[in-house]
Amino acid sequence: MMWTRTTIALRRIARSQSLNGKRSRMKEQMSAKQHERNEKKKKKLAALANLMELNDRDRLHEAELAKKRDAEEVEVEEKPSAKPEDEDDGFIMVGSKRKSRNRRHNTEQEGESQTATGASDPEEPVAKKSRNHEAGGDSLPQEIGSLSEDQYKQLSAELRRRKRELENVPALRLREMGQRASLETPQEARTPIFLTDIQNLIMCALIGQKSPCRPDRWCSVEKWLSLSHSVVVILEGLSLYHYLSNESQFEATNRIFSTKLEVILPPQEEGQIIDEIAKIPLTNVQARRLIDEHGSLESAVELNKDPTLFVKTIFPIKNNKSETDDMHEDDKFPRTKLLLSALQMVDEGYPIPMQGELHTRFRHFKYTKDVYAPVTNRSPMFGVDCEMCQTEAGCNELTRISIVNEKYETVYETLVLPNNRITDYLTQYSGITAEIMEQVTKKLNVVQQEVSELLPPDAILVGQSLNSDLNAMKMMHPYVIDTSVCFNTSGVRRRKTKLKDLAKTFLQEIIQQNTDGHDSIEDSRATLKLVKKKLANSIEFGDQILTQHKQLQELANASSGDTISNNLFAHVAKRDKRTAIVTVGELQPRLKEVIEKAGEAAPKDHSSAVCVHEVSTPKEAVRKVNEIALENALTIANLRVPEQDFVLDSAERSVAKLDKTIDRLWKSVAHNGLFLVLMGGSTECSKGVAKIAIKRLNGSES
């Protein structure tokens, strides 16, 4: 028995020793394989590092060659020219030299010539020799050996840094509204964006995600914070017609930009486009002042906008201006600030006479007036509400309309017989029954004529989701206040609050309690009362979104004087956020006033300055932009293109010069820089073109 136990114990010991031996041998084998894998990884990293260094040297070399070419071109430009001075329109002449597209072919030819003269090593690949020689780098190891542990870690860290740089590249992508505005969309289906959309893009490029005005309606921009700077070039006098007529000759421009959008611009007589662009907060100090004055940046934007600016381009509105535009005695702020802008009207589904899909949808609609007068802060308001019934046409048609004036007096009330047979009276909502409609004979065209005769040319229509009423009336009107837009209790802009709830909350009135359906007179009076109460208080009254922003701002100001900079303008505070404006000739007085307000700051805040450079010629303007673009977060260049330059005899030459000017300005944009060229329309064509590009490291568009 004792012998058996001893034998078992010895066997276990022997088995354990055998297993330990196998394990140690396996560990040695695994260690050898792991070491081999690590060595392979290090060699790969070393090879990748060499490639990265070669690419970096190539880029530096190409940049140096580009600088030399630019310097040579400038020297050529500055030399006396044999052509008469009256032929020079002031634009920079840029050389047409281009780098060869087939680089390998060039390097092989150079290598062959060197081999023929005995200047190169026959054992070294010709392309590699040429590349190293061109880059000025003969210090790179020709043979990749093993790396030390420290070198391995250093290379790994460098590669991770490079990867993060590649992942943080900003990019602009068009949404549906942006794609509709693209010049690639056929003209009959194209719906242009507004200058306001471009303003929103520039504001987001300056402020980032915290901007109160975002371009999400038409585009999305990834990695806002990675934008290095922005260069905006405004070409006044150059319209969509001019560009499309000469599109094929804009060779450099077409190569730079793939995003080209049609833009609605303000009327030419309203002043320069740069006036509108400059209305955005140009610096963090200006934005802070707007917050101090209006409670929040959102409220400031609402109060500083001109909602009618682009409406004047779309609707037939006279150009004459009222001598006095003082506020109504009952209003605390201008009532015109509550008007929907053209952009809002499009977003909210209002009938509006624009081209593309909107033109197709509203081609049979009529204006409420043949010609409109400019709206003022004393223009009369009228509450409008309609009731509809469903017809066999598959849509809701007008069956009742009520209009009341500011004294809440009913000035128009009638029933309407739809053009199609009624299939559902929608009595629980409309209050319309078959008995009520038995004797009705008045048709929609008669109602349209009577409404047109009733309303004054500067009338402001007020209603709850008034787009539905105007669609039912099949009429278009430029001046509209929508209580579903200027009042909001949900805190979400797209989530509408019912009129019944608004009346109960802000008027302490109970409406729409009739079991027989809504009363259009009651509803139109309620909307007028709501708007008049808002005008008697503030722009934030009844708007939970603006109220929340104001409360948060007050809380931030109470807790810390620097909280604004650390939150809303955190992106601004990370670097000098300076703005430069380069213009040919003197600035308009209105713009000077805006810039003076933007430049007011404490002496210690040097980043708040708005630098203005007034030059005499477009050539000087381009040179100044090239000189200062990298020093500023936003550089705006305003150039005037004489319309006579695009007559038949001189169009080709003018386009070539302008194309080279744009190419020259593109070279001033840094890596990850936003470049925007805005063709600002002309007296004959108010439509413009916006071209947008984000520069990549290799100089191409993102």
Per-residue pLDDT reduced to its tens digit, 589-639: 766 666 665 555 434 444 445 788 889 888 899 999 999 998 888 898 988
pLDDT in tens, 241-264: 889 888 888 999 999 999 999 998
Domain locations along the chain: 200-280+567-695, 324-553
**What are the tens digits of pLDDT across the range 664-677?**
999 889 988 999 99
Instruction: Identify residue 353 by its one-letter amino acid code.
Output: P
Q: Taking the CB of residue 305, how many other CB atoms lie within 10 A of it?
A: 18
CA 358 – CA 435 distance, rounded (Å): 37
Q: How far apart are CA 280 and CA 286, in angstroms?
A: 9
* Residue 365: per-residue pLDDT: 94
What element of type H or E holds 545? Answer: helix 544-559
Q: Is the pTM here over 0.75, yes or no? A: no
Phi, psi of 701 (to 5 degrees): -80, 145
pLDDT, position 651: 80
Looking at residues 229-241, what average pLDDT do you find? 89
Q: What is the CA radius of gyration of the chain?
A: 34
pLDDT tens readout for residues 301-330: 555 556 666 677 788 888 766 555 678 888
Residue 405 pLDDT exceeds 90:
yes
Q: What is the mean pLDDT of the segment spanning 121-135? A: 42
Average of per-residue pLDDT across 144-157: 70
How buried is 290 (Cβ within 10 angstroms: 0-12 exposed, 13-18 middle, 19+ buried)? Answer: buried
**What is the fold of 200-280+567-695?**
Alkaline Phosphatase, subunit A (3.40.720)
Report residue 395 as tokens. Answer: 């849509």
The helix or strand, by DSSP H or E, that contains position 232, with its residue range, turns out to be strand 230-236
CB of 625 within 8 A of CB of 611?
no
Sheet holding 634-640, edge to edge: 193-194, 259-264, 687-694, 674-679, 230-236, 634-640, 579-584, 610-615
Lowest mean pLDDT among 164-168, 280-284, 339-343: 280-284
Residue 389 confidence (pLDDT) above 50: yes
Question: Which residue type is seen at 606?
Answer: H
Determine the average pLDDT of the residues in 509-526.
85
**Is the predicted pLDDT of residue 466 greater than 90, yes or no?**
yes
Task: Please name which of 542, 468, 218, 482 lies closest in space to residue 341, comparing C-alpha atoms.
Answer: 482
DSSP 443-512: -HHHHHHHHHHHS-TT-EEEESSHHHHHHHHTEE-S-EEEHHHH-BSSS-TTSPPPHHHHIIIII-----
CATH number 3.40.190.10 is the correct assignment for the domain at 324-553: no
Name the token pair of 688.
């413009």
pLDDT confidence band for 137 (50 / 70 / 90): very low
- Mean pLDDT computed over every residue of the chain: 76
The pLDDT value given to residue 544:
80
Residue 427 pLDDT level (bands cut at 50, 70, 90):
confident
